Structure 1
Amino acid sequence: MLVERRRELGLLDTLFAEADAGRGQVALVDGVVASGKTELLRTFAEQRGDGVVTLATGGARSQRYRPFGSIRPLVSALPLASSRTEALLRHLDGRDGNDPTASHTFDVAHSLLQLVLEVSENAPLLITLDDAQHIDAQSMECVLHIANHIRSARVMLLLAEAAYGGPISSGYRIELIRQANFRRLSLALLSPDGVKELLEQHVDPSVAHQHAPACHAVSAGNPLLVRALVEDQPDEPHAMSVVGPQRSPSVGDTFRQAVMTCLERSGHGVVDIAQAIAVLGRDCTVDRVGSLLGQRSTEVERAFRTLRLAGCLGEREFKDSLFRQAVLDSIELTELARLHRSAASVIHAAEADIASVAGHLVAAGGVPDEWAVTRLIEAAEAALRADAPDRAIEYLEHALAGCGHDATGTKLRLLLLGAHWRANPSHGIRHVAKLSPHRYRGELDVEQSAILLRLLLWEGRIHEVRTVLDRLSETCRSGQDTAGGSLEYTGAWLRHTCPELAERWAELNGESDTATEPEPSPTSWWTKASVALHAVLTGTPDGSPAANAESVLQATALGDRTIEPVWHALWTLIHADRLDSALQWCDPLLAEAKARKATWWEAMFSACRAEIALRYGELPVAARYASRALSIAGTEGWGIGIGQPLSVLMNVGTATADHDAVQDHLRQDVPAAMFRTGYCLPYLRARGRYYLANEWWDAALEDFQHCGELTAQWGFEAPALAPWRTDAAEVYLRLGEPARARELAEEQLDRVGKSSPRARGVALRIIATTLDDVPRLRLLKDTVELLQASGDRLELAHALFELSRAHQALGQSAKARMVSHRGSRLVQACRMETSCGEVEPSGKVAGRGRSRSVASVPSSEAARRTTTKPTAQLTPSEQRVAALAAVGYTNREISARLHITVSTVEQHLTKIFRKLRVTRRTDLPADLPLGVEEPGKPSVQPLLSPPTMQVAVKRRSMTADTA
């Protein structure tokens, strides 16, 4: 059944009626290959009624050069006496003694015309000739002779030819056009509605309606290709039920064969040009196809026009990828490889996109030659800049096949390792061992050796690191170092990563153990970040490490060579207790890493974000980021650094009493070398906190004391890294040794200074538990203020419960209940494990209800900021009053504390209640910050300064000794 050909059939009916009336007609139907020309001729002939003589013939590519090959079927089918047709057939074959010369052709044409006219006298005659473009020249002369002499005969001559970008032989067409009774009909490809109508002949109408758009896109409306698609659908070839409404139809052998049939029948050389177009893809141009095939531009342009007429070619590429794939599948593998190699050369000569050159080189396979290796390296570097590490890996792995043991091979290995590391650090670390042969052969320069050293240490291969260190030291002493910045950075990096090796490095190179701040050159920014991190870990009292870290973050764009200093700068801010600043930098960096699909970068910044959230008391957020950091990078990829994300998860599990989760984390294998690096400190501390929560005092104390031994050995006295003294003091409190606990807390306080309000607050809380009721109360109020300023809601909750018990001991039940209520609210916000508000002296939260794990509580992103957001509308004075009122200060105490009148305090509280829409002090946020200053007014200081606190401690100690 014909589809979308009603107009053409109607026009042909009109022409035949004219011919039946004695006005002979000539018509030519053209269209692209497989557009339905043959079916139109057959259908039109079948629709002729009785009394009409129909004769059909056609051309064939294989018989184009056989004289009279297309006329013989017509002669044989003439409804005349066999003696008359047999005579003409003998004449065609030259069996009557005549040669097939030009005069002979005229004789044949004239004889045939006479027979045709004789037949038409008795009945109307329809002669159809399909594939006219392949009719041999002698047969075409006969056809044209008939066309010239049927104007008053009952004859209709109907021809069909394939439309090409250029005619194969324009002579016969011109002769036809000269006829006054000539009409030309062009068949268009099927529209989407036409494709749907054709599909309805094979599948259910609803299915046809659903899949017609996709089939039209693939087939361009070619009826043959549409039918081939129907046949190729899997399982139920006549239902297409397995093809989703938004998916392309399945393509199989039938479609591929149909595509090649269309191309082969579209003209000489079209198949070769179509294959070249498919290989070149988006890099296709007429000139490049010509260069690839060694053909003239005119031939290529003609084929382009033919393919555009067929609807499969756009401006330069095939419109549908499935059509292109069908063409590629038709090429033999060896020929396909040759075409890809040639395409790479052609595109390279045209100075086109380097990625296209590399893509063709990879597709060609084999061993690339020298120029190809160079292009592949360039393409890989460009791919990394474009955040496409997977593509870079593909280029580099192919380039390695063409490299030996030379500088280029070494560079390739390092580039490949970096690309793998960014995309998947678990895969990247497996490539570290492949660099060792280059090191043994002495093929690594100083900078490459420094990179290998850091990679080996990250993998935990300390023995090999020592070997590389020795080799670098020899190079440095011999004056061969041409990359001093790399060595400087490596030395600084070792100081905060593996102090044991840093000491060896210093000994080998005669360096001191102090790091000086370098000038801000591009390389020294890396060193500056490492020096800043080392400085903050060693407890530098001023704010220079944090300031230097900020300057590094401001001056450094994120990239493969800068990811380490950026990460170190972030950790400097975290360990310096500049959490707000660290958060402001971390979130954009994490978003950039995700947007650029850099897996390792995302893992690194997720680990930072997890630590920030933990220190703010955002337990669900901390667990989510730490889990993300581990899952995307893998435990193997984290190497010796795995202690950091694991420690966050262990701390969260301990705080939420999810002991099964902590046990799982403790069963996780960690490199033995981790315990010789700074990454073991948060791990040991987290494990010790877990032992403490389970009342395994000896095990907890052992881990905390081990932390102390390592920090003393390495000089890492930063309280924010591993405050082991206050951790150990918690154990001694539970063991009933308050004097030892107080001694450790005092040592911690002496080392902290004012740089870490969190560490000071924890130390003061422990000291307060060893004091009498009144000084204990006053010191706990100072503790609460410090912890409010630090933003650590976990420690603030502990301090509030301690303060509640202090009020209770003095008989201040109302205040005790109010402060306890605030502590409970913080516990809920932190998702800690408790349901009452009782806190034991050790700081472990205990509750009568069931314990709750992080996973069972919906996480609250940036809970700290969400909690304090309503207070943004308070003035600085109101915020200070609210903060003090929230922790139990009376109006008179607030008045004395802030040096304002009681009436002013009352007025402030009235405004605060109205702005925050609360009616009682118990409804005020418990973690209001106190560090807000107004111009001309002094900042709030703790009630007990360090000297006063020492006096109170000594007084308590004397009382205890007297007793």
Structure 2
Amino acid sequence: MALVERNEALTRLDGLLADAAAGRGRVALVTGTVATGKSALLSALADRAADGGALAVTAIGSRAERDLPLALLSQLFHDAPLPPPERERAMNLLFEGTRAAMVAEDMADGHIDVQIVHGLCTILLDLAERHPIALLVDDVHHADRASLLCLSYLARRVRPAHLLVVFSRSTFGRTEEPDWQNDLLRPGHGVHIPLEALSGGGVRLLAEELAGAEVAERLADRWYQLCGGNPLLLKALVADHRQAVAETGAEPDEPVVGEAYAAAVMNCLRQAEPRLLEVARGVAVLADPESLDQLTSIDPEHAQQAVRSLTAAGLLSMGAFRHPAARAAVLADVGPEQRAELHRRAAVLAYDRGASTREVAEHLVHASDVTQTWGVTVLEDAARQALRDGRVEAAVSYLKLAWKACTDDKHRVRIMTTLVRAEWRINPSTSAGYLPELSGALEKGVLRGSDALVLAKALLWHGQFGEAEHVLDHLGARAGELDADTSAELAATRPWLRCTYAPFVAHLPKSTTPVSTVSASRRFAAARTLASVISSTPGPDVSETVERILRGSRLDEMSLDTVESALLALTYAGHADRAAGWCDMFVEEAYTRRAPSRQARLAVVRAEVAVRTGNLPGAARYARTALEIMPPASWGVAIGHPLSLLIIASLAMGDFDDVREQLDQPVPEAMFQTRYGLHYLQARGRYSLATDHLGLALRDFQRCGDLMAAWGVDAPGLVAWRSDAAETYLRMGRPGQARRLAEEQLNRCTKEMPRAQGVGLRLLAATGQLRHRPMLLRQAADLLQNSGDLYELSRTLVDLAQAYHALGESRRAGMIGHRARTLAEQCEATPLRRALSQDEELDTTGDPAAPEVAGGAVAMLSDAERRVAALAAVGYTNREIADKLYITTSTVEQHLTRTYRKLNVTRRSDLPANLDTNLTITT
């Protein structure tokens, strides 16, 4: 391997070797920081000496042998090709010198008899008279003192000898030149050859040799930034790169910093003096070079010199490690107690210089201890900031330490309630461990106000309703003592409680205090709107009200209830299509804020939206995602909502095995006292209906209706239990009771609820005479097309196709059956597709003449053409379309002619199912 950027140094050494061969002895000292190629240079010189006819005699200094007298010199004599008599003499002198030094009182000073020194050096000089010698000593800074004395003696006598003496010495972490070095480099025969770190060009050349030209072209510049010109670090980076290629089978686009790099960093540091390693540990802990002396108890001058040495070695840049992997490797090498002590000191230093609370808190957490009076306050401040920034895990760690360190009972309870809210973002089940202590604090009178509400909400989530009632009653008994903030929080909590835990509203004290903060006001408005939607018929301004709330909301510490209530209000009010975009935006925000429980709860809302727009695969996917992010055990009584949505979507897609698996999941009995239980009863009832257990289905639907009536939330947009019960009665052969329920459902609907109306009309049609069914079913199809629910639209079109077929209108039946099949396939509704396939008159799958219509062609239609085509596709005649749209029959024919031409079709049955379902069609 070539010596990159070392040609000049090697040329100078070649010249010194030639001088020595000519009888002009020379001494050279090669210096440089760690891993700059000193050893490689001496090895290359040894090879050149042998090629030139000289003898290369080598030795390597070792830290482990520094206290062994004459250890390094003995290496030279063992390596030198001495005749037997001289070798025996040399061994005797070494033995005598070692024994004398070992027993001498001043052994540490390397005391050795001058006659022994003279005798040993004479043997080497005599050998040089017979043969030119290159005496090469690597890492001389690790040599024992006695060997250094002998080598200094020899160096002063090389001038007339055929001898070149070359030493290499590391400057890594050394602040001054040793006395013996000045003695070696006397003018006239001593030469100093300093080696610098590789330049950027040098790194590129070495990278080409190690990894190839193509890899070097891509990565050399970044490798230079990571290694600082240190060849050892560069070789480690190349090794990590090769390991990544071997593991993945692909060339990484960016440098890979792995185990080899970390090991090389520690290899460099272990070659240094202990003081340098201590400073490196200080840098790894505290990103403030100016305070290293106080952190490490090393005087400022030596600390700064150590930083300069680490920088020259390529480990540091601008006072910090060049890569986090280097910092991590250094910290991993520190024992737990020492590391904690370093962080403890660093916390104090950071606080004293006014560092951010985040920096101070991080040091306190790593120290696992708080001894300063300001520590708890700093941790709380840092936790609040972390929650605002979406660093929930960090906030939890800060709060746990603050709670552990706090000695004031009331303050500890406040910290714990904040901790409950923070951990709730990650996993609500973790809060269960704090509930007994918080309940005990309530009994002692320590837990008060809004903190008691936090406890009540947590108890409700976990189904501990008796304890929750007790907390709410406790608040009610002290209603006159509540502060303004708590009263305002009660006002915002009351409508939220009504929407989800309706039976417990009576236990919550009433509050007349106005909501003062913007955040609480939005939460109150969203919950009140949701309560209005599920307890009565939604007004025409619901969507505007909700979207105004959503526009001003972000997922900060307290806003998930606001966002969730607003999205559900929009969905239950019949505007699921408008809720989808908002929901996606907040799901993304929850992801960026790393709040798993929020991601899961919003995924459930997104699944609800998907169910109501007929996106069955999407609904199943969102519901599964919610259950994967947050396992069932963490959902408490809310488990009913994701399970119900997964069951409903899987049923519609015909995946009965998955449905049975979900129904086997244990659910808490307390769930049936919540809104989540209503959704679950509907889903379980639909499974019983699909499997012909009609009595069980009817029981679940009626129980759902009884609960909704008792709670005052009997709105069609929440759970359409009447429609489900009516369908059950139809299957039982009791159309009269089915008709009564369908009519009740329709009476409760307004024009703002096209989906619920459409489903009701479909069921009403099934209870009437055959000749009246097409009219009702076409009205239902219009409404469902406007609502955006493709699944319910496809169900209605199936019924419509079957009605036309029964009336003998096979052409219409086939045309509508074709569109129903297309929609069923889009929704992946296997049972619907199967129902169509079983009726040969409605099965159009084998029609080779049915062309595919591209979405781009549909986009070419005008609004008027789309309206006409959409009605024609569901079986309306030209006259009926004209009456419906208040246009002439001729105009209808013209629109259809242009539509056929643009879509490249020839008949109504070829009209696509992907017409714009959001167009308003007057009914």
TM over 0.5: yes
The answer on 1:618 being equivalent to 2:622 is no
The AA in structure 2 aligned to 1:302 is: Q
Residue 521 of structure 2 corresponds to 524
Q: Secondary structure at the match of 2:320?
A: coil
The answer on 1:438 being equivalent to 2:441 is yes
Q: Secondary structure at the match of 2:667?
A: coil
CA displacement, residues 347-399 of structure 1 (integer Å, 9 cap, x when unaligned): 22222343332232222234554423332223333322222222222333333
The answer on 1:608 being equivalent to 2:605 is yes
Contact 1:260 1:330 in 2 (8 A): no
Cα displacement (A) at 1:120? 6.8
Residue 281 of structure 2 corresponds to 275
1:882 equivalent among 857, 869, 889: 869
1:456 equivalent among 454, 459, 472: 459
Residue 849 of structure 2 corresponds to none
Show the 5 A alignment for 1:628-667: 628-667=625-664
Contact 2:266 2:330 in 1 (8 A): no
Cα displacement (A) at 1:572? 0.1
The answer on 1:670 being equivalent to 2:676 is no
Contact 1:783 1:799 in 2 (8 A): yes
Residue 735 of structure 2 corresponds to 738
Cα displacement (A) at 1:816? 2.3
Q: Secondary structure at the match of 1:543?
A: coil
Which has the higher mean CA deviation after the structures are superposed, 428-437 or 744-753? 428-437
CA displacement, residues 641-682 of structure 1 (integer Å, 9 cap, x when unaligned): 222222212212332333332222222211211111122222
CA displacement, residues 561-613 of structure 1 (integer Å, 9 cap, x when unaligned): 10111100000000000122111211211222223332112112211111111
The AA in structure 2 aligned to 1:380 is: A
Contact 1:453 1:465 in 2 (8 A): yes
2:503 equivalent among 481, 500, 509: 500
Structure 2 unmatched ranges of 5 or more: 212-218, 842-852
Q: Secondary structure at the match of 1:269?
A: helix
Alpha-carbon separation, structure 2, partners of 1:613 and 1:789: 16
Contact 1:165 1:309 in 2 (8 A): no
1:924 equivalent among 908, 911, 922: 911
1:262 equivalent among 256, 271, 288: 271
Contact 2:20 2:162 in 1 (8 A): yes
Alpha-carbon separation, structure 2, partners of 1:459 and 1:336: 40
The AA in structure 1 aligned to 2:455 is: L
Which has the higher mean CA deviation after the structures are superposed, 448-457 or 787-796? 787-796
CA displacement, residues 496-524 of structure 1 (integer Å, 9 cap, x when unaligned): 1122111333xx5498xxxx997884312
The answer on 1:387 being equivalent to 2:387 is no
2:577 equivalent among 572, 575, 580: 580
The AA in structure 2 aligned to 1:18 is: D
Contact 2:726 2:739 in 1 (8 A): yes
Contact 2:262 2:326 in 1 (8 A): no
Alpha-carbon separation, structure 2, partners of 1:35 and 1:761: 81
- Cα gap change, 1:897 to 1:251, in 2 (>3 Å): closer
Which has the higher mean CA deviation after the structures are superposed, 909-918 or 168-177? 168-177
Alpha-carbon separation, structure 2, partners of 1:63 and 1:833: 81
Contact 1:837 1:847 in 2 (8 A): no
RMSD across aligned positions (CA): 4.9
Which has the higher mean CA deviation after the structures are superposed, 627-636 or 807-816? 807-816
Show the 5 A alignment for 1:554-569: 554-569=551-566
Contact 1:570 1:608 in 2 (8 A): yes
Q: Secondary structure at the match of 1:186?
A: strand
The answer on 1:828 being equivalent to 2:825 is yes
The answer on 1:294 being equivalent to 2:303 is no
Aligned length: 883
Cα displacement (A) at 1:921? 1.0
The AA in structure 2 aligned to 1:15 is: L
Alpha-carbon separation, structure 1, partners of 2:399 and 2:319: 29
Show the 5 A alignment for 1:731-810: 731-810=728-807
The answer on 1:333 being equivalent to 2:336 is yes
Q: Secondary structure at the match of 1:358?
A: helix
Residue 162 of structure 1 corresponds to 170
Contact 2:36 2:197 in 1 (8 A): yes
CA displacement, residues 857-892 of structure 1 (integer Å, 9 cap, x when unaligned): xxxxxxxxx998864433222222112211212212
- Cα gap change, 1:581 to 1:719, in 2 (>3 Å): same
Q: Secondary structure at the match of 1:26?
A: strand
Contact 1:148 1:179 in 2 (8 A): no
Residue 911 of structure 1 corresponds to 898
Residue 204 of structure 1 corresponds to none
Contact 1:788 1:928 in 2 (8 A): no
Contact 2:488 2:515 in 1 (8 A): no
Contact 2:882 2:892 in 1 (8 A): yes
Q: Secondary structure at the match of 2:683?
A: helix
The AA in structure 1 aligned to 2:712 is: G
Bigger radius of gyration, 1 or 2? 1
Alpha-carbon separation, structure 2, partners of 1:451 and 1:579: 30
Q: Secondary structure at the match of 2:271?
A: helix
- Cα gap change, 1:160 to 1:739, in 2 (>3 Å): closer
CA displacement, residues 884-918 of structure 1 (integer Å, 9 cap, x when unaligned): 21121221222222222222111111122233333
CA displacement, residues 164-207 of structure 1 (integer Å, 9 cap, x when unaligned): 4655236665666662444332346687799899999xxxxxxx
Cα displacement (A) at 1:740? 2.2
The AA in structure 2 aligned to 1:183 is: V
Cα displacement (A) at 1:3? 6.6
The AA in structure 2 aligned to 1:476 is: A
Alpha-carbon separation, structure 1, partners of 2:577 and 2:425: 28
Contact 2:550 2:563 in 1 (8 A): yes
Q: Secondary structure at the match of 1:184?
A: strand
Cα displacement (A) at 1:57? 8.3
- Cα gap change, 1:695 to 1:750, in 2 (>3 Å): same
Alpha-carbon separation, structure 1, partners of 2:153 and 2:343: 51
CA displacement, residues 685-733 of structure 1 (integer Å, 9 cap, x when unaligned): 2222222222322222222221221222122132121222222222222
Show the 5 A alignment for 1:390-405: 390-404=393-407
The AA in structure 1 aligned to 2:862 is: T
The AA in structure 2 aligned to 1:287 is: E
Residue 955 of structure 1 corresponds to none
Which has the higher mean CA deviation after the structures are superposed, 141-150 or 445-454? 141-150
- Cα gap change, 1:778 to 1:109, in 2 (>3 Å): closer
The answer on 1:350 being equivalent to 2:353 is yes
Alpha-carbon separation, structure 1, partners of 2:798 and 2:126: 120
Cα displacement (A) at 1:754? 1.6
Alpha-carbon separation, structure 2, partners of 1:127 and 1:518: 89
The AA in structure 1 aligned to 2:376 is: V
Residue 183 of structure 1 corresponds to 191
Residue 406 of structure 1 corresponds to 409
Alpha-carbon separation, structure 1, partners of 2:154 and 2:833: 109
TM superposition score normalised by structure 1: 0.79
Which has the higher mean CA deviation after the structures are superposed, 779-788 or 450-459? 779-788
Which has the higher mean CA deviation after the structures are superposed, 496-505 or 173-182? 173-182
CA displacement, residues 728-771 of structure 1 (integer Å, 9 cap, x when unaligned): 22222233332222222222222212221122222222222333
The AA in structure 2 aligned to 1:168 is: E
Which has the higher mean CA deviation after the structures are superposed, 797-806 or 427-436? 427-436
- Cα gap change, 1:570 to 1:75, in 2 (>3 Å): closer
Q: Secondary structure at the match of 1:311?
A: coil
Cα displacement (A) at 1:615? 1.3
Alpha-carbon separation, structure 1, partners of 2:259 and 2:137: 36
2:450 equivalent among 447, 455, 461: 447
Residue 364 of structure 1 corresponds to 367
The AA in structure 2 aligned to 1:690 is: Y
Q: Secondary structure at the match of 2:829?
A: coil
Q: Secondary structure at the match of 1:29?
A: strand
Contact 1:251 1:322 in 2 (8 A): no
Structure 1 unmatched ranges of 5 or more: 201-210, 840-844, 850-865, 934-939, 943-963
